[in-house]
Chain A
């Protein structure tokens, strides 16, 4: 016991030194996609980077579990989608969309396990996933805070977190915007975050000028990735891909509202250059 006590002091000192060395790495902003992909693809480049992105990813997965009170959902298999043999999850409160999702624990009707299935449905969280309600959003908000603290480059944490802040209370717009602005501070090259800021500013505040500024910044970021030859990589991230598309959409919508139809068509055509099959941009391009 004495040895353990003596060991704690040097361990504490070493821990303090390590924390001081790690903090600059922890606060490093991903100014370039290169750094971003290195954190994601090469664990040995940054152990800290991998730890923080793994923690953020773990907390991201946990948000779904929290909102469903511990009930696990999974995507349907192709066979299940084709035959429709499972109960498809659906939300009664419009908090989440559950396209082609079902519960991990099967419902009694299609459970072949006799007593085992009944036991599992008792000892593990389980409910009928059709038209289910979700737990209060405020219970999951801390997770979004934690995951963005753990990994400030975790863009989807800021995006969805801001949505949840507003969903919890529609008067929390200032907090939602502050959360998004923190995200752009750490991710100045993100497309999706600027698009989201533009959307909130346009729809919630009605500030056309500011919204246009954000949306143009989102598009400039997209152009930056194209110029650096990394467009294909950024398009692999579904949030950034949709954010890029939505930036053009919202600009077209904004110009339409301002009745500047030439600019509306111009932005729509520019968007169609990267998203040629998008029906919204096609409509605004006419």
Chain B
């Protein structure tokens, strides 16, 4: 008797969320939120006139870094923790495939990290509002794009967790996430300065991770107008295809992996 993917994902997601609450992972987000409140309070003491851009800049920088680190840490331990605690055996004893398990773990990571990001972003939005610094409508697009990025990043990290040890996975994932902008710049400079062919450049560009393209925080900070929706759609397609590819690559290894 096989179980549908939807049932598997729902069951794993609920179990994963309960596990996250038990491990108090989201408490980290709450503590960070408290620190943001305290930090914002000091600005109220000094008055915020003229500091709007600076406060927004710091707030969104903090959200970006914290949500990325949180996403990587949550996604990186989904499968290794199950293997280490040997709870993966009773899981696989059920009528679920390894592929379904992989997708389920991705969903747990995505929901948990996404929730953490929304809590951080929501807290920042409220704090800014209290300080008299409203955000423009582009903030909604920022949330949507960032959630896509988190889903994409979860897929990458979960796939890497099948190939690497947890420590190596976290390190490489953080480098790929924070360094994606730099890699892109280097490719462009190689094209202009060293004559790298445009076709090769686009090939490499397609392979390289583009986590920085999911981050519109700078446009939110400087109150730019909302972007064209085709861009959001294009990034959604990229997140879906690229993330699916990562999960497939992870599944190809995971299905034959000897566990334990």
Contact = CB atoms under 8 A, between A and B. Distances in A.
B163 interface: no
Contacts of A70: 218-219, 221-222, 224
Interface residues of A, number: 33
Contacts of B222: 69-70, 125, 135
B54 A119 contact: no
A120 interface: yes
Contacts of B216: 123-124
Contact of A112 (B51, B198, B213, B218): B198
Interface string A118-154: 1110111100000000010011111100100000000
Given A79-B193, A113-B202, A123 B219 contact: yes
A4 B57 CA distance: 29
B57 A123 contact: no
Contacts of B228: 122
Nearest to A141: B50
A113 B213 contact: no
B165 to A, nearest CB: 29
B213 A119 contact: yes
A122 B218 contact: no
Given A69-B224, A70-B222, A142-B54, A119 B205 contact: no
Contacts of B214: 123
A112 B231 contact: no
Contacts of B221: 70
Interface in A44-87: 62, 66, 69-70, 77, 79-80, 85
A104 interface: yes
A1 B54 contact: no
A183 interface: no
B235 interface: yes
A139 B222 CA distance: 10
Contacts of A80: 192
B255 interface: no
B18 interface: no
A249 to B, nearest CB: 34
Contacts of B213: 116, 119-120, 123
A239 to B, nearest CB: 23
Interface string B1-42: 000000000000000000000000001000100000000000
A113 B205 contact: yes
Main SS of chain B's interface residues?
helix
Contacts of A110: 192
Contacts of A106: 188
Nearest to B55: A142
B236 to A, nearest CB: 12
A143 B201 CA distance: 38
Contacts of B210: 116
A122 B222 CA distance: 14
A53 B53 CA distance: 22
Given A70-B218, A77-B193, A104-B185, A119 B234 contact: yes
Contacts of A115: 234
A119 B235 contact: yes
Interface string B200-219: 01100100001001111011
Contacts of A77: 189, 192-193
A113 B188 CA distance: 9
Contacts of A139: 50, 52-53
B145 interface: yes
B207 to A, nearest CB: 12
A140 B52 CA distance: 10
B252 interface: no
Contact of B145 (A116, A120, A123): A123
B86 interface: no
A158 B188 CA distance: 37
B91 interface: no
B27 A112 contact: no
B227 A122 contact: yes
B255 to A, nearest CB: 33
24 contacts: A1-B27, A62-B57, A66-B53, A70-B222, A70-B224, A77-B193, A79-B192, A85-B192, A104-B185, A112-B188, A113-B201, A113-B202, A116-B210, A116-B213, A119-B231, A119-B235, A122-B228, A123-B216, A123-B219, A123-B231, A140-B53, A141-B50, A142-B50, A142-B54
Given A123-B219, A124-B216, 19 more contacts: A1-B27, A69-B222, A70-B218, A70-B221, A70-B224, A77-B192, A79-B192, A85-B192, A106-B188, A113-B202, A113-B205, A115-B234, A116-B213, A119-B235, A122-B227, A122-B228, A122-B231, A125-B219, A125-B224
Q: What are the 6 tightest A-B residue pairs by CB atom distance, in nearest-first order?
A: A112-B198, A70-B218, A122-B231, A70-B222, A69-B222, A122-B227
